[in-house]
């Protein structure tokens, strides 16, 4: 009887001490977003980019289907913001999308200055389209 009591006690303590493993990647996971604040065509031209229903949608109006995208290139450049006592720097993420529309090859530019949003957009776009990005300077 003492052995049974000891075994149950040890199992109970072990169950309290051992933490169950967590699924997923924890801190390494990127936010699951479908809508992104970006700049379209040029810096400071604000727009909303949505990745949904197998399309990239700009400002809830214009869209390109994933199957129409030929390639995507991504570049990151260091930019400086002048103003105040000390200039500040930030990364500008530029995504060039090359796609077909009515038989013509066209292109579009989506820009981000927010690192987190740019990385989440890149991950979602690459996953959704199945396209590997061409990485530029």
Segment holding 44, helix H or strand E: none
Residues 134 and 126: beta-carbon distance below 8 Å: no
Q: Are 72 and 95 in contact (CB under 8 A)?
A: yes
**If pLDDT is split at 50, 70 and 90, which confidence band does 57 have?**
very high
Reported as type and span, the H/E element at residue 120 is: helix 115-129
Residue in 72, 63, 42, 66 with CA at minimum distance from that of residue 54: 66
CATH 2.60.40.10 fits 34-135, yes or no: no
Q: Where are the domains of the chain?
A: 34-135
Q: Summarize pLDDT for 65-115 with one digit per residue, the tens.
A: 999 999 999 999 988 877 777 778 889 999 999 999 988 999 999 999 999
Place of tokens 């990239």: 56
Handedness of CA 25, 124, 121, 77 (dihedral sign): positive
pTM over cut 0.75: no
Q: Which of 36-40, 92-96, 127-131 has the lowest mean pLDDT?
A: 127-131
The total of other beta-carbon atoms located within 10 Å of residue 110's CB is: 23
């Amino acid at each position: 009887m003492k052995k049974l009591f000891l075994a149950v006690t040890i199992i109970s303590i072990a169950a309290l001490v051992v933490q169950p493993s967590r699924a997923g990647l924890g801190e390494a996971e990127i936010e699951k977003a479908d809508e992104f604040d970006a700049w379209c065509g040029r810096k400071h031209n604000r727009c909303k980019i949505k990745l949904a229903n197998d399309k990239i949608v700009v400002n809830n109006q214009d869209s390109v289907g994933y199957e129409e995208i030929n390639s995507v290139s991504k570049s990151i450049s260091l930019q400086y913001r002048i103003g105040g006592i000390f200039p500040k720097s930030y990364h500008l993420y530029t995504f060039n999308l090359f796609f077909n529309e009515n038989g013509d090859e066209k292109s579009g530019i989506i820009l981000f200055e927010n690192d987190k949003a740019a990385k989440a957009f890149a991950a979602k776009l690459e996953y959704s389209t199945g396209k590997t990005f061409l990485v530029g300077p």
